[in-house]
Amino acid sequence: GKEKASQLFSEGSAFDSATFAEHLPSQFVFPNTLPGQMGSRLLELSFMGLNRLEDEEDEQNRGSGGYLPRDAWHRLARRVQCCFKTAPSFHYMMGSFYAEPPPPKPRIE
């Protein structure tokens, strides 16, 4: 069925989430690829994706999730980072627990 909201969007291009999902795996690419190079390489880059199911080279890339490379989601995250203004978080070990002296150890002479 159609979502109520999409009825409001009669002008302009339609957006089909199924098509989106089909195109998306081409974006699971190496982080060094600059966004500007995307357009012309969409088809070449589809080796990452669902439309090369029969390719034996992808055998080792197949995780339990199917035919996407193991780090597909890391690659997509890197690719779409520019859309987010997320603050980096600060992680540390010092001060994360009570400082207690360890039990005395027998010294081996």
Partner 1 sequence: TSQVQRGLEKVTSAQVDQKTAEVVQYFLVKDQKKIPVRRAELVKNVVKEYRNIYPEILKRAARIFDQVFGLKLVEIDNRNHMYILVNNLETTDSASPNEWLTNPKMGLLFVILSVIFMKGGVVRENLIWNTLKKLRVDQGEKHEEFGDVRRVVTDEFVRQRYLEYLRIPHTEPLEHEFRWGQRADKEVSKAKILEFMGQLHEQEPQSWTQQYRDAYSLSQGAQATTSSLR
Partner 2 sequence: MSRQMGDSHRRFLQAMMGRGITDEQGALRLYQHCCETHKTQCAPDKLDDFIDTINSKLQPMFMQIRKGMSEDNGQQYYALVNMAETEITRMTSDYADNELELFRKTMDLIVSSENGKASSTEILNSTDSMTSKKLKKSETEHLLNRLVNDKWLCEKHGEYTLSTRCIIEMEPYIRAMYQDQVKVCHICHNIAFQCQICENPTCGIKIHNPCVARYFKGRTEPHCPACDDFWPHEIPEVRRPHTKSRR
Instruction: For residue 67, give the nearest of 22, 102, 103, 34 by alpha carbon.
Output: 22
Q: Specify the residue, 24 or 47, whose C-beta has the smaller distance to partner 1.
A: 24
Q: Rounded CA gap, 48 and 27, in Å?
A: 8
Among 3, 44, 56, 59, binds partner 1 (CB under 8 A): 3
- Least distance in angstroms from the C-beta of 33 to partner 2: 14
Find the shortest distance in angstroms from Cβ 52 to partner 1: 14
Using CB under 8 A as the binding rule, whether residue 32 contacts partner 1 is answered as yes
| Shortest CB 109 distance to partner 2, Å | 9
Residues 6+ apart with CB under 8 A from 19: none
Q: How far is CA 12 from CA 8, 9, 15, 16, 24, in A?
A: 11, 7, 9, 13, 21
Residue among 25, 30, 32, 27 at smallest CA distance from 62: 25
Which residue type, as a one-letter code, is found at position 67? Y
Segment 37 to 76, residues that bind partner 1, using CB under 8 A:
38-39, 42, 50, 63-68, 70-76
Residue ranges that bind partner 1, judged by CB under 8 A: 3, 5-6, 8-9, 11-13, 15, 17-27, 31-32, 34-35, 38-39, 42, 50, 63-68, 70-78, 80-91
